[in-house]
Structure 1
Amino acid sequence: MELWYTEKQTENFGITAKVKQTLHTEQTEFQRLDMLETEEFGNMLTLDGMVMTTEKDEFVYHEMVAHVPLFTHPNPKHVLVVGGGDGGVLREIVKHPEVEKATLVDIDGKVIEYSKKYLPTISSAFDHSKVEVKVGDGFMHIAESRDAYDVIMVDSTEPVGPAVKLFEKGFYEGISKALKEDGLFIAQTDNPWFKADLIAQVFKDVKEIFPITKLYTANVPTYPSGLWTFTIGSKKYDPLDVPEERFHDIETKYYTKEIHKASFVLPKFVGDIIK
């Protein structure tokens, strides 16, 4: 007998993977959590039936969330991650010597707990000396923060369940207040094939708040359509105007200084979404 996992990405399309075994399944206080061992992608974390990360392709997403903003900002001492309970973004953040403190706020402590157990290569930075982990509501943490962070990264699920409010204009306004006067933020903003309206709305909202707003993309095979977008809002620094000397060597598998710039070159249909 074969066991297959399928994520129904739309009513008419899905992605499927052969499963070796179910490692853990639980209805947490906030969502359905499953850890699966798959044949093709290694261990896989799903929340409410949606793929969050896999051992095989996680590096693309986590590197592009972290390194684009951290190389854009000239001195990112204090960094906040909203969500990101698997720890992958933290792992990339602590590679930057300029970072003095990285705070992670995730609403579901169970994601952190089981990522440590079943995704050790992704969650390796939770005990790093620069890292502070808080189990709590990221939306409220933002609302209660003022001039606190140089860079904020919103590593949320898709806009369902507890993550819905992380895609609202009021949240981005709160981020602006939580950032220092030259701060910037980045948020994952889903895919252009199935969620064009979401990307357009988020981009419009962010552009009304931040003087520099840009969209960039990366290829993440296990995410809907494989083409993923990220929206960056910056008070001062342009991600396409980073001095060459600011790029320093770090260990990556996807991100390079050339990819940094190239990721902002959008396919025409994606560019049309945010016009």
Structure 2
Amino acid sequence: MDTLVEPVETAQYVLTLDCPDGPGIVHQVSGVLLGQGADIIDVRQFSDRQHLRVVAGAPEPDGRFFMRLHFEAPAGELTQDALRAALEPVAKQHGMRWELRPHGAKRRVLIMVSKFEHCLNDLLFRTRTGELPVEVVAVVSNHPDHQRLAEWHGIAFFHVPVTADTKPQAEARLMELVDQFDVELVVLARYMQVLSDGLTRHLEGRAINIHHSFLPSFKGAKPYHQAYARGVKTVGATAHYVNSELDEGPIISQQVVEVDHTFGPEDLVAAGRDTECKALSNAVRWHCEGRVIVQGNRTIVLR
């Protein structure tokens, strides 16, 4: 008589890592996963060998290795603990930065917005349809305009006015909300206020902004008007991590659209809206799927 074998319950995970480049990294990591009963579903990797360091007066490669693995393994908290314990020696050996998360785990997101609602509306729609692996836990705005939209989606809305005199208190309130809702990512969806250096340092690596131009061109205020003055033939949008330098953070995603001499400033604004929405939603999705690794002032996006 044949014996029925109970199927093993499995779960999927994502491992993202980077470290100094060298031989054997893929072999060691995949060997650890095999030893834990894992089956690799998808892998993306990149070796950055463009940078050089000078050793004894001569240039020598000083590359960095980046990898994202999507794999399946037996389910359960014990499996995650075992995976982390098994990976730790390899990570230490190679000086890795690494993160292990369940595949599809939703990150807790707080969205900030001012008057323009198109990026907010797009993010909420994509979240509602399941396109983005996020849970939007709060919307914060320096204007009350979008309260009904947020609440229609069942999301808490907070009106936090900002003036030059009240900016410290407003930013303190924002950080209270970040802590209160256990926020993993802050998204500036056309939030038209410059964050303080202290706040940007606190949110480093977990705040994404959409700037309505194809950076590094046309930084600062009214980029579409700057673009019109230069007679550009394309306009675009750039999603980037926030840092203390205005519109200088590491770029994650960019989109462009063709225009011509018949487009006035307001036409450029209208043409750019779709690029803003797409660039921002891509950046949010890639970040939350563990596809983005910051390296200096640039990003590696493992798609």
TM-score scaled by length of structure 1? 0.38
Greater CA radius of gyration, 1 or 2?
2
Q: TM-score, normalised by structure 2?
A: 0.35
